[in-house]
Amino acid sequence: KPAVLYGAFVLYFSPATELLSPASHAEDGGTLYNTAVDIRMGNRYFERQCSRCHGFDAKGNDETGAPDLTGTLRRASSDAGIFNIIREGIPGTAMLPVAADVPDPTVWQLVAYINSLRYDPASVDLAGNAGSGADLFGGKGECSSCHMVNGQGGRLGPDLSRVGENQTPEDLLQSMLDPDAAVAPRWWTIQVAGRDGEVREGFRMNEDSFSLRIMDAD
């Protein structure tokens, strides 16, 4: 896998890893390594070592399974949790530990950079009515025919249950106005011609030397 071949590490978060860090570390990291300079240095390290899996925009990669780091981190609720995942890695996953010779201050700077990427949807005050938007989503707009929200809807597009945590209103508007402008490879549609000549269309799920599995609208 690319994450192993390149020696990069992927931030897969686990609650258990938070237990490894003394509270003083989180406190020190929060007070000593959160300046603009620290964030900039963390960004530089991220681009060198983390972007191979997470992307330069830190929005993750569906192909490698690297999670999006720009929203709420589901399995790490503290600076200490993020620090220990970077420092210790998570055994049995593609999340490798940072090199042993990387000093703690550098790891804290990386934590500071990741924190700077977070977007709080609660801080946004938008005109409009959420209830009317929900009706449009599931009705006339036909959004739910492809997208799922809180377990309801289709599977032909990304799950939008938590999209507000990592997409600004401007980003969402642009996606609706020009939905084909930026589509992750995971959601590219392919066409396959069978031996019987019938052409089938859907999303590539997996493949090997002898077979190809796709998911179609049915």
In terms of domains, do 168 and 198 share one?
Answer: no
- Could you list the residue range(s) of the whole structural domain that residue 62 is in? 2-116
Q: Give 10-residue mean pLDDT values along the chain (218 residues).
A: 42 42 43 86 95 87 78 79 88 85 93 86 79 92 91 88 80 89 81 86 81 79
- What's the pLDDT score for residue 102? 93
C-beta neighbour count of 161 within 10 angstroms: 14
In terms of domains, do 23 and 72 share one?
Answer: yes
> What's the structural domain count of the chain?
3
Query: 90 and 14 in contact (C-beta within 8 Å)?
Result: yes
- What's the pLDDT score for residue 13? 45
In terms of domains, do 61 and 139 share one?
Answer: no
In terms of domains, do 136 and 170 share one?
Answer: yes
Q: How many CA atoms lie within 13 A of 129 on its CB side?
A: 4
In this prediction the pTM is 0.57
In terms of domains, do 112 and 13 share one?
Answer: yes
CA–CA–CA angle 39, 27, 56 (5° rounding): 25
Task: Provide the terminal-to-terminal Cα distance of the chain, rounded to the nearest Å.
Answer: 32
- The CA distance from 216 to 194, in Å, is 14
Beta strand ranges found along 63-108 (DSSP E): none
Tell me the average pLDDT of the chain: 80
In terms of domains, do 163 and 79 share one?
Answer: no
Q: Which pLDDT tens digit goes with each residue over 20-62? A: 444 334 444 455 788 999 999 999 999 999 998 888 888 887 7
- The CA distance from 52 to 10, in Å, is 9
- What's the pLDDT score for residue 11? 54
In terms of domains, do 37 and 83 share one?
Answer: yes
List all residues 6 or more positions away from 130 whose beta carbon is below 8 Å from its beta carbon: none
In terms of domains, do 196 and 158 share one?
Answer: no
In terms of domains, do 90 and 153 share one?
Answer: no
- What's the pLDDT score for residue 108? 93
